[in-house]
Amino acid sequence: MAIVLAERTAELTLHLTPDARFDVIDVSARVKAQQPAFHTEFRKALYCSYHTTAGYFEQSLCQRLLQDRTTVEAFVQSYQQLFPPMADYRHDQLDLRTELSEEQRCVEPRNADSHLTFIGSGLENCVTYQNAPDTPVYFVDLDGVNGQTPRNRRTTVVGFNEEEVVDEVQLAIPVSNHPIDSINLRDDRLGLFEQLHDLLKHYEIVKGRVDIALEPEEEHAGLTVNEFETLLMQHDLVDVLRDPLRFMAQKGRSMLRNPKAIPSRAKEYAKYDLVQVVNEFLDKVGLSESLVERIIDKFLAMPASHFLHMKRSVSLPVLNINGNGCGAIVQGTYQSPILVQWKRAAAKTRHVNVRFVRFD
């Protein structure tokens, strides 16, 4: 663990070792163990993950989930059953992954289910919390073990008291004419990151955050941070947007109990299983029965915005990673902000609002 102290901020980088493929780790407790006064000295904290299958939920959602580990696990597990492991994911057909070497194919995890659960459940790479002593902040890992080997995870926590919005700009993002598509905002051809770094340098932001949000009039679209791998984004995610229950239908519990069931019945079985999943979740969290119909309607309704917990904004951490007094957007090797649409955009353009935030 590394600790960097500044006049008005504190930055900690923690290295985590998951105990299982799906693990929920209280990072706040580990921060307190290393720096006991952190939650009283600083009113706010930025939590960022450098991984595409592990991240954080926003604080408001965790509050609705009672800040309870069991409830958070139940929420995630409901999405895991919608995206079961070893379904017919193109991302997991490693022989089709032309970017992998033969050596990489031998060790590459088959984890499309974890990527889709991350996107679908609304996990984020970067969140800002109001600090509260003795209140957990959960790092949710969906792919923490590859075979029998735990993966090395890394997260950075920045404590601060005030944040200043330095500027806001509206940017146009070109999109294709396809009704369902995803756009890698980190793509060098788009030039977005070069523009963002020029503005960070211009505003002399050393430590802070870049918030990217869809403009209110942009409908049928969402934002996430994940791996922009062609088979995952152009095939598996597209399949989910077209048919949210597709992968659950392949591996549904009713189908397993009825191995002779014909494929044409798969969707009906999946809908039945979904009701059981929702009931199990409600039993664990103790919510009222009046919520059952609303949740089932949410999962069964179209369009995909009613099904996925897709975000309309993402945040990118800005840190002084080179020690040269200049801030830069920090992301993991495979992380990219991604704009996803499930209906054709007018004029093949979508607009986002970019907010530059400095920590004081």
pLDDT in tens, the chain (360 residues): 444 444 589 999 999 999 999 999 999 999 999 999 999 999 999 999 999 999 999 999 999 888 999 989 988 988 898 898 998 999 999 999 989 999 999 999 999 999 999 999 999 999 999 999 899 999 999 999 998 999 999 999 999 999 999 999 999 999 999 999 999 999 999 999 999 999 999 999 999 999 999 999 999 999 999 999 999 999 999 988 888 777 776 665 555 455 555 455 555 555 555 556 666 666 666 655 554 455 555 554 444 555 577 899 999 999 998 777 889 999 999 999 999 998 999 889 999 999 999 997
Instruction: For domain 2-244+302-359, give its CATH number from 3.40.50.11810, 2.60.120.460, 3.40.50.1970, 3.20.180.10.
Output: 2.60.120.460
Residue 53 pairs in a beta bridge with none
Q: Which residues have C-beta within 8 Å of that of residue 359, sequence separation ≥ 6?
A: 8, 9, 46, 158, 160, 162, 163, 164, 207, 208, 209
Q: Domain spans of the chain? A: 2-244+302-359
Q: Which residues have C-beta within 8 Å of that of residue 28, sequence separation ≥ 6?
A: 39, 135, 136, 137
Q: Supply the pLDDT for residue 36.
A: 95
pTM of this structure: 0.88
